[in-house]
């Protein structure tokens, strides 16, 4: 292949690659709404194809609701560094049974979070009243109450809000004879031209777009529009009978222009390759040609045999891979979707390092954008496909049959190209350990209410696994890094690679000890028998970790001695100072009785004597105030085994010594 042809071919491939990876414009049109395409949060509802955002009551009430389009929309293409322009149109009405009772209004918003539901009142269902800077959004507000906290100019205005309800700029619709509170159907148009860095908002009682915008804001939204964003509507009331409806909606993005290969005729015509006349061959070259012919006569059969051997090796390897793949698929349960390797590779941009969310015992987890499905997922990729087959099948066969709100939902799987891949629902806040020990400029986001809710959620899902499933599921690796947090900081238990299924009432079978030091029950370390009681012990450690903000095993700054969390809390309990174990980062902002209950539950579950540990159902009842808190002895029970060999937590820790220190990422050393 000559250089010019090679250049054309390479350029074509490059341009074709850009065509494949570039983001695409979207064009949505919903003359009516359905549950299939939208997520309804808070008090929102769907009736006769119309969205209601707040409660429909005849008495004044406080209410907030949010409706979000299910699929994230591409607003930025990192490959071409292009931010999309967008245009949306929707018809809404803000009515009232009592004309003298009004407030607070509605918004159209875009956010990287699909769980953005906020508080009632002046927060417009967009902002959390206790965490004003938590939610990230770009919104147009249609405000029907003056709230001086947010510098509102009046009780009838439209404004552009970015990450705050203090509008960047506002305008009064009465300038165009539109009253937001009229109860009439109002059509709104919102346009953003990225080239002009300009947002325009139009309002009209008719379906014809006015010539002049009501609100114009010169602003560059490319700073705020992420690669993928969710779009939706929110509204709120406070002591009001105001009603908020969205009757139809359309949305489109513009500006993504995938580069298409254009191969001009002169690049591939005969004239592009110079024609060289034949050169006469002299007699003196005949002997040279004979030698070449002899070499070819010997070399070609050898080359052919080599090619045949390579072909045979590749065919056998491919046959084995296909056989392995088929055997795996035969073992897999039905339910989760089977993805193709091509889909997952594209969604993770070829398993790009920039998409890595974390590393686990069995592989790496990647953030994946499935643009054709409009979903964001987490893809777990096995380190060693063949060696990891057992764990892969265990995780898939167990998780696929489980249904609980506090489990990480499994969306699908893939067995291709020698790869084992699991596709999970993406958890916006990552794992509990990362959030619990995060040191950010905003401080630790885990308030007391979130911590207590996480403890309840984890107890609920373990009750389900241990007692409510058809077969008992023992997780065997409960730890902070395997507990994920969704958009509302609800606990979602994941990573079932070490889990085991047992028939209820059957005796446990001894296995190789597996799990993470600091979370392992003493009897499990000694005998290798995993039961629901070993899960309860791990739960207890996580609860103490959640309440205290300390890792299961830490080194003291002064003495450099290894300190076990269970022993540390139990010592404070024996001194009557258990409340001092509370995480100092909360600055005392917690319910003292609830904190004490949580710490005592943690100690009860982490009791060295497995027979004294409570069942998870009992723990859940205490957390839900359905049962009295358990009595925990002041002195920590001594741990002895049937062979009379004493083994305390201190002994375990001292044996492990430095190998149990957290690594640079804060993870405990694995015991596999």
410 and 458 co-located in one domain:
no
Q: Last residue of a domain, which of 383, 409, 425?
A: 425
- pLDDT for the residue 420: 83
Q: Which residues contact 662 (CB under 8 A, 6 or more apart)?
A: 551, 554, 668
Q: Report in angstroms the alpha-carbon separations of 450 from 64, 115, 254, 546.
A: 20, 15, 40, 10
Give the residue carrying structure tokens 């450690």.
Answer: 541
- Please indicate, yes or no, if residue 523 is contained in any of the structural domains: yes
Q: How far is CA 393 from CA 290, 333, 380, 456, 465, in A?
A: 62, 9, 13, 29, 18
Query: In angstroms, rounded to a whole number, what is the distance separating the alpha carbons of residues 368 and 221?
Result: 24
Supply the pLDDT for residue 129.
80
Asked whether residue 8 is domain-assigned, the answer is: no
Quick one: 73 and 212 in the same domain? yes
Same domain, yes or no: 663 and 518: yes
0.85 surpassed by pTM:
no
Angle (CA) 132-133-134 rounded to 5° is 100
Reported confidence tier of residue 222, pLDDT bands at 50, 70, 90: very high
For residue 7, pLDDT over 50 is answered with: no
Give the CATH number, domain containing residue 216: 2.60.120.200
Q: What is the pLDDT of residues 223-246, one digit of tens each?
A: 999 989 999 999 999 888 899 999
CA angle (58, 62, 67) in 5-degree steps:
95
The C-alpha atoms of residue 545 and residue 566 are separated, in whole angstroms, by 9
Q: Which of 191, 190, 157 is nearest to 175 (CA)?
A: 157
Asked whether residue 346 carries a pLDDT value surpassing 50, the answer given is yes
What range defines the domain where residue 144 resides?
A: 23-254
DSSP state of 464: I
- The mean of the pLDDT values for the chain is 79
Structure tokens, 109? 């918003």
Query: pLDDT of 485-502, one tens digit each?
Result: 988 889 999 876 655 555
Name the domain boundary from 391, 425, 459.
425
Rounded distance between C-alpha atoms, residue 581 and residue 583, angstroms: 6
pLDDT at 274 exceeding the cut of 60: no
| Domain containing residue 507: CATH number | 1.10.510.10
pLDDT at residue 130 in the model: 76
> For the CA atoms of 345, 349, 354, 359, what is the dihedral angle to 10 degrees?
-10
Q: Is the pLDDT of residue 133 over 50?
A: yes
Contact 332, 399 (CB under 8 A): no
> Cis ω on the peptide bond leading into residue 527 (within 30° of 0)?
no
Q: Is residue 316 part of a domain?
A: no
Top-confidence residue, 561 or 9:
561
Are both 248 and 377 inside the same structural domain? no
**CA-to-CA distance for 648 and 637, rounded, in angstroms?**
10
Strands (E), 124-264: 138-143, 157-162, 169-171, 186-193, 198-204, 215-218, 228-240, 242-254
- What residues are paired with 649 via a beta bridge? none
Q: Is residue 228 part of a domain?
A: yes
The residue among 389, 391, 435, 409 whose CA lies nearest residue 336 is 409
What pLDDT was estimated at residue 363?
A: 76
Residue 19 vs residues 78, 80, 84, 117, 195: alpha-carbon distances, Å: 13, 11, 16, 36, 22
Identify whether residues 390 and 526 lie together within a single domain: no
pLDDT of residue 264: 39
pLDDT tens string 374-428: 788 999 887 655 555 666 666 666 677 788 889 988 888 888 887 888 898 899 8
Catalytic residue among 104, 147, 477, 495: 477
Is 569 part of any domain?
Answer: yes
Domain count, the chain: 3
Q: Over the range 175-209, which residues count as b (16 or more CB within 10 Å of their CB) and which as e?
A: eeebebbebeebbbbbbbebeeebbbbbbbeeeee
Nearest alpha-carbon partner for 672 in 476, 481, 516 = 516
For residue 107, the model assigns a pLDDT of 97
**Cα(166)–Cα(250) distance, rounded to whole angstroms?**
27
- Among 2-11, 179-188, 479-488, 609-618, the minimum mean pLDDT is found in 2-11
In a domain, 147, yes or no: yes
Residues 6+ away with beta carbon under 8 Å from 242: 54, 94, 95, 96, 101, 102, 103, 104, 144, 181
Of 502-506, 567-571, 610-614, give the lowest mean pLDDT range: 502-506
Assigned domain for 539 exists: yes
Model confidence band, residue 668 (pLDDT cutoffs 50, 70, 90): very low
Q: Are residues 375 and 505 in the same domain?
A: no
For residue 180, what are the contacts with CB-CB under 8 A and spacing of at least 6?
Answer: 94, 105, 142, 143, 144, 156, 158, 173, 186
Q: Are residues 391 and 436 in the same domain?
A: no
For tokens 């929309």, the residue is 73
Q: Point out the domain boundary residue: 399, 425, 451.
A: 425
- Domain contains 261: no
Question: Does an H or E element contain 670, and which?
Answer: strand 670-671
Residue 213 vs residues 73, 85, 219: alpha-carbon distances, Å: 25, 17, 15
Q: In the predicted model, is pLDDT for residue 598 greater than 90?
A: yes
Q: How far is the C-alpha of 33 from the C-alpha of 50, rounded, in Å?
A: 6
Give Cα 606 distance to the centre of its chain: 30
- Helix residue spans in 214-355 (DSSP H): 265-268, 286-331, 341-347
Say yes or no to pLDDT of 575 above 60: yes
Confidence of residue 507 (pLDDT cuts 50, 70, 90): very low
The answer on 122 and 42 residing in a single domain is yes
- Token pair listed for 350: 């070829």
Supply 190's token pair.
């919102």
The pLDDT assigned to 483 comes to 93
User: Are both 31 and 169 inside the same structural domain?
Assistant: yes
Same domain for 448 and 541? Answer: yes
How far apart, in whole angstroms, are the C-alpha atoms of residue 565 and residue 602? Answer: 10
Question: What pLDDT, on the 0 to 100 scale, is given for residue 98?
Answer: 79
* Contact of 177 with 186, CB cutoff 8 Å: no
Selection from 108, 103, 215, 220 nearest residue 169 by Cα: 215
Cα 491 to Cα 464: distance, rounded to the nearest angstrom: 14
Residue 229 sits in the same domain as residue 366: no
pLDDT by residue (tens digit) across 70-82? Answer: 889 999 988 888 9
Q: Is 380 annotated as a binding residue?
A: yes
User: Is residue 669 very low, low, confident or very high in pLDDT (cuts 50, 70, 90)?
Assistant: very low
Instruction: Give the three-state DSSP class for 529.
Output: strand
Catalytic residue status for 477: yes
Of 199-203, 274-278, 367-371, 533-537, the poorest mean pLDDT is in: 274-278
- The CATH code of the domain that includes 384 is 3.30.200.20
Q: How far apart are CA 327 and CA 318, in angstroms?
A: 14
Which pLDDT band holds residue 513 (cuts at 50, 70, 90)? very low
Task: With cut-offs at 50, 70 and 90, classify the pLDDT of residue 599.
Answer: very high
Q: What is the pLDDT of residues 630-655, one digit of tens each?
A: 889 999 987 755 443 334 444 444 33
Please answer whether residues 475 and 463 qualify as being in contact, where contact means their C-beta atoms are separated by less than 8 angstroms: no
Are residues 470 and 412 part of one domain? no
Q: Are 472 and 536 in contact, with CB atoms under 8 Å apart?
A: no
pLDDT > 80? residue 249: yes
């Amino acid at each position: 292949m000559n250089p010019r042809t090679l250049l054309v071919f390479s350029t074509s491939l490059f341009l074709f690659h850009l065509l494949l990876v570039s983001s695409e414009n979207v064009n949505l049109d919903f003359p009516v709404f359905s549950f299939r395409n939208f997520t309804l949060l808070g008090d929102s509802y769907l009736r006769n194809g119309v969205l209601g955002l707040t409660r429909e009551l005849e008495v004044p009430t406080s209410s907030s609701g949010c409706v979000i389009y299910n699929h994230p929309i591409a607003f930025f293409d990192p490959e071409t560094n292009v931010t999309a322009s967008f245009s949306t149109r929707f018809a809404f009405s803000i009515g009232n049974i009592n004309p003298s009772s009004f407030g607070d209004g509605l918004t159209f918003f875009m956010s990287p979070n699909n769980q953005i539901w906020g508080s009632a009142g002046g927060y417009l269902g967009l902002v959390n009243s206790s965490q004003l800077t938590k939610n990230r959004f770009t919104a147009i507000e249609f405000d029907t109450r003056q709230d001086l906290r947010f510098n509102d100019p009046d009780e009838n205005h439209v404004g552009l809000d970015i990450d705050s309800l203090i509008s960047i700029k506002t305008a009064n619709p009465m300038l165009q004879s539109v009253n937001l509170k009229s109860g009439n159907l109002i059509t709104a148009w919102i346009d953003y031209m990225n080239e002009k860095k300009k947002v325009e908002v139009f309002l009209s009682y008719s379906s014809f777009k006015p010539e002049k915008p009501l609100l114009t804001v010169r602003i560059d939204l490319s700073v705020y529009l992420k690669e993928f964003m969710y779009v939706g509507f929110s509204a709120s009331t406070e002591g009001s009978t105001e009603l908020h409806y969205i009757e139809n909606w359309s949305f489109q993005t513009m500006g993504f222009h995938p580069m298409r290969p254009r191969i001009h005729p002169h690049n591939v015509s005969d004239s592009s390759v110079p024609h060289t006349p034949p050169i006469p061959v002299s007699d003196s070259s005949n002997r040279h040609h004979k030698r070449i012919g002899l070499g070819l006569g010997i070399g070609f059969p050898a080359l052919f045999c080599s090619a045949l051997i390579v072909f045979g090796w590749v065919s056998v390897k491919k046959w084995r891979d296909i056989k392995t793949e088929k055997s795996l698929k035969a073992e897999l349960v039905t339910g989760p979707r089977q993805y193709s390797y091509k889909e997952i590779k594209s969604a993770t941009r070829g398993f790009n390092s920039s998409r890595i969310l974390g590393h686990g015992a069995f592989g790496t987890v990647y953030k994946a954008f499935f643009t054709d499905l409009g979903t964001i997922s987490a893809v777990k990729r096995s380190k060693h496909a063949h060696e990891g087959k057992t764990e892969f099948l265990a995780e898939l066969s167990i998780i696929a049959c489980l249904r609980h709100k506090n489990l990480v939902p499994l969306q699908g799987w893939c067995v291709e190209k020698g790869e084992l891949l699991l596709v999970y629902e993406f958890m916006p806040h990552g794992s509990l350990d990362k959030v619990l020990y995060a040191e950010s400029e905003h401080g630790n986001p885990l308030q007391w209410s979130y911590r207590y809710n996480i403890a309840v959620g984890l107890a609920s899902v373990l009750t389900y696994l241990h007692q409510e499933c058809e077969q008992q599921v023992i997780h065997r690796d409960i730890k902070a890094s395997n507990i994920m947090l969704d958009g509302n900081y609800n606990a979602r238990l994941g990573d079932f690679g070490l889990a085991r299924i047992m028939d209820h009432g059957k005796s446990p079978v001894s296995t190789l000890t597996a799990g993470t030091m600091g979370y392992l029950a003493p009897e499990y370390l000694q005998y290798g028998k995993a039961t629901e009681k070993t899960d309860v012990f791990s739960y207890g450690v996580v609860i103490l970790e959640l309440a205290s903000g300390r890792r299961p095993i830490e080194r003291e700054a002064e003495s450099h001695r290894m300190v076990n969390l269970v022993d540390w809390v139990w010592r404070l309990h024996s001194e009557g100072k258990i409340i001092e174990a509370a995480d100092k980062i909360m600055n005392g902002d917690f319910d003292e009785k609830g904190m004490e209950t949580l710490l005592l539950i943690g100690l009860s579950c982490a009791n060295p004597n497995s027979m004294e540990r409570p069942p998870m159902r009992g723990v859940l009842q205490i957390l839900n105030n359905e049962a009295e808190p358990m009595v925990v002895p002041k002195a920590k029970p001594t741990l002895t085994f049937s062979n009379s060999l004493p083994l305390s937590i201190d002994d375990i820790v001292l044996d492990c010594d430095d190998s149990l220190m957290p690594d640079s990422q804060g993870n405990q050393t694995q015991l596999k």
